Structure 1
Amino acid sequence: MNRIRPTLLALALAAAFPAWAQTNAELLKELQALRERVNELEKKLQQAQPPGGQWGMTPQQAAEFNRIAVKTEALQDNFEDQGYKGLKITGWAEAAYIWNRNQKRAGFQFLNQQEDGYYYDTSYIGAVNLTLTKETDSGTIWKLSLMPNRSPGAVVDTKSIVDEASVSVPLTDLQTRLIAGQIPDWSGYEYMPPTLNPFITHNLLFDFTLPTTYTGVGLDLTRGKWWIRAMLANVNENIVQAKSREPVLVYRADYERGEFSGWGFAGLHGKTANYNCVDQACSKTMTHLFEVDGWYTRGDLTLGGQIGFGMQKKGAIIPDADGNFRDSRWWGVSGMAGWNFTPRLQGLVRVDYLNNAKNGGGLFGYNGYWTAIADGEASTTDYGDWRNGIGPDANLGCYPDPTVDGCSRGANRYALSLGLKYLFNEHTTLKAEYRLDRADRPVFYDVGSDSYKKLNHLLGASVVVAF
């Protein structure tokens, strides 16, 4: 505590009240008396202090306090030396029950592998995640997110448990960053983790028109209300194959209008895997994807939506009469609305439409079904995905003659989802969903009747626990 010197106090009083001016002798006398009074008060304060030197403590208590202080500093030093400073560990787990009418399948699914393919009734449902995020004093962020069997990495190669493995390094400031590594796709209004996705399943655009992961390097910029990311990357592969040397440009920009709403767009331009091709020279063809999405949340109302477009050269399912693959083209729209009946209970509805009629169909990563031409085996199931409902009319017999009337037209897809989400406690969420999938062609295989239908029904329930 700073003490006001008596001389300064006296001078201030004299300056403030000149009418009280006194002779020098009188002033010096009063200053001496004031100094003696201050010295007397300081002596009394020193006498009132306890012998241990710590206010309110006995000598034993003071010693214990010092011991705790030393131990705390040692623990803090050890915490930093072991690398725990700036480390955050989070995770979640989702156990789900799914009933699929056409598949005649009902049961729990949890940590099942992706090796049988990606379907709208499995996708990332029934996964476990553990995420470690480390931020250094310089602002560099290192992130490792693991998901056994159900990760985006497993969608790509059926084995990887990595969801994300990335670094973010500040360049000129914290708002200008270099990003690198494996990063999950950032397109659309719907997120992959069940902690962020209000439904159990995902919308049609999420499942069938968007990439899975990016592996590469890029920039992450924050400028006012704008957040912009762009990368040169491999798409859905951690290493490119021989005779492949062109990286793909991927990007996303978000604009937050205010506290309650925002919008964004994302795109992909470059050569990506084309499963129609059986020779190395044609393993990748030019692909263009672009989508715009937005969100609004205020009070009890939540809204989200997305519209997307895409094409891939030689990516259509049905070839022409000469056996040459044609270009695939598609567009789609998805919209979601949620209403909180109570602070814990939310009702949900989502509507999707996917136009995929061009050249027998064909979506991003969903081609290569016309394998009978390459292996010479006659099969009526080699020109479509009859579980997801992608391709032409399955009853037309497009193999071996793709020129059959109607084979050049793919199925347009619809999906309606109704859901409930209940926040049981801070860390636990319960979900229920009914979903109707429909197409304008019979493209859903019914395993019970051994026939193809235009629609399918799904029921789902799940519990999501996060920390």
Structure 2
Amino acid sequence: LMPNRGNGITLLANEHGDIGNNILNTAVVTVPITATQTFVAGLMPSFGGYEVQQSNQMLTLTHNLLYDFSDPGSYVGVGWNYTPDGSQWAFKFMVGNEQYRTYGSVTQTGTNALGDPITTSNKIPTLTARADYTWSSALDIGGSFNIGRQTLSSAIDATTGQAVYGAGGQATSSGGYFFFGEVDASYTAADIQYNAEVDYGQQQRAAYNGGNAQWYGFSLLAHRKFNAPVVGRMGVTARYDLLADSKNGGGGGGVALNGNGMDPYNGFGIGADCLANSQANGGLGFECKGAVRQDVALDLLFYPTQQITVKVEYRHDWASQKVFLRN
């Protein structure tokens, strides 16, 4: 039981489409089959990326852009973990529901007796797998992939009474294929830690203009602990992230755009000036490109006791388009 943290986790919607405010964070049944093989089932975080979810294990105050907006969130499903005896390899496999949404898409058939939209579920599961190679006691290199079908956001058009799909209402169906892959590395030796990750993803019909969404990015992190006069044990962390989500107006993955093709709080989607120019000429901004997002985070960590960690972070975010609430 733990409150959800990070945009990548709070987008786990339940069967009614409600998001967040759920302290049931992880629920896993683990059954050892042999000394090297384990069966697992339940609500599990995805295999993507180097960053952990729990704040007390993070070396920064905030999550990186890939964790929040690129890497898959959580799954409900069944899996198989395998570590060959005496090998430096470790493998994980899982078949589960969609990365974020367990609820269905609105159909063309209207509403039920209670006035709620009739929905159909996505019955195609997602396959996800991960492999890790322990190069040495300090270096781990790994990667993961996801492939399946994802449900798009949907609503009933008040004018026509018909269902529309996608952020811009331009998608031709209620979903499409989803593919995501990443490689990451972690180096930990004494008081030093380095992390790196590269992501690539595609989602069919998930972009703002109804086309295919495509995103890619990377994250780099460096951390060092040391002893300082007066304050004692402390650490410093520097991180840089880039996430490009420009194709067809942006969208897909963990990027949730509004009806104007924007996420003004997280800085994704089309720019305000491009939308204004498009509307002035009778358009809806479907010709605009989405934003390329970057951030840099600098952290100081203090360890006054073994049970307490105090973090102070300076973070600066910017984008290639005018997409923030304050441009």
For normalisation by structure 1, the TM-score amounts to: 0.57
Map of 2:160 onto structure 1: none
Rounded Cα–Cα distance in structure 2 between residues aligned with 1:153 and 1:392: 25
Whether 1:401 aligns to 2:283 is: yes
Tell me the amino acid that sits aligned with residue 344 of structure 1.
R
Tell me if the contact between 1:187 and 1:266 (Cα under 8 Å) persists in the aligned partners.
Answer: yes
Structure 1: runs of 5+ lacking an equivalent: 1-90, 93-110, 125-149, 320-324, 371-381, 447-451, 453-467
Q: Are 2:218 and 1:329 aligned?
A: no
Asked if structure 2 preserves the Cα contact closer than 8 Å seen for 1:189 and 1:293, the reply is yes
Distance (Å, rounded) in 2 between the aligned partners of 1:365 and 1:289: 12
Match status 1:419 vs 2:304 = no
Higher relative contact order (CA 8 A, sep 6+): 2
Q: How many residues align?
A: 287
Aligned counterpart in structure 1 of residue 145 of structure 2, from 240, 262, 267 = 267
Q: Secondary structure at the match of 1:443?
A: coil
Greater C-alpha radius of gyration: 1
Task: Mark the CA change 1:388 to 1:279 in structure 2 (over 3 Å): closer, same or farther.
Answer: same
8 Å contact from structure 2 (residues 220, 241) kept in 1: yes
- Secondary structure of the 1:417 match is strand
C-alpha displacement of 1:151: 9.7
CA distance in 2, matches of 1:402, 1:279: 16
Query: For residues 100-111 of structure 1, what are the structure 2 equivalents within 5 Å?
Result: none
Per-residue deviation, 1:258? 1.5
Matching residue of 2:61: 200
Which residue does the alignment assign to 1:166?
28
1:111-159 CA-partner distances (Å, limit 9, x unpaired): 7x99xxx75xxx77xxxxxxxxxxxxxxxxxxxxxxxxx7967897334
Write 1 or 2 for the structure with the bigger share of strand. 2
Counterpart of 1:359? 248
Secondary structure class of the residue paired with 1:162: coil
Partner of 1:455: none
1:233 to 85, 93, 96: 96
The answer (yes or no) to whether the contact 1:315–1:367 under 8 Å persists in 2 is: no
Deviations 1:262-317 (A, max 9, x none): 11101110101222674588332111000000011113321001000001111111
| 1:179/1:219 contact within 8 Å kept | yes
Over the matched positions of the two proteins, sequence identity in percent amounts to 28
- Please show how residues 302-321 of structure 1 align to structure 2 within 5 Å: 302-317=193-208, 319=209
Q: CA deviation at 1:169?
A: 1.1
For residues 153-190 of structure 1, the C-alpha deviation after alignment (integer angstroms, 9 at most, x for no partner) is: 7897334321111111122x132111111101221011
| Distance in 2 between residues matched to 1:408 and 1:294, nearest whole Å | 35
- Work out whether residues 310 and 329 of structure 1, in 8 Å CA contact, stay in contact via their aligned partners in 2: yes
Aligned to 1:242: 120
User: Contact between 2:244 and 2:292, CA under 8 Å: does it hold in 1?
Assistant: yes
Please report the RMSD computed on the Cα atoms of aligned residues, expressed in angstroms.
2.7
Which residues of 2 match residues 28-427 of structure 1 at below 5 A? 157-171=19-33, 173-223=34-84, 224-235=87-98, 236-238=100-102, 242-275=120-153, 278-279=163-164, 282-317=173-208, 319=209, 325-342=210-227, 344-367=233-256, 369-370=258-259, 382-396=260-274, 397=276, 398-399=278-279, 401-402=283-284, 407-427=287-307
Residue type at the aligned position of 2:71: L
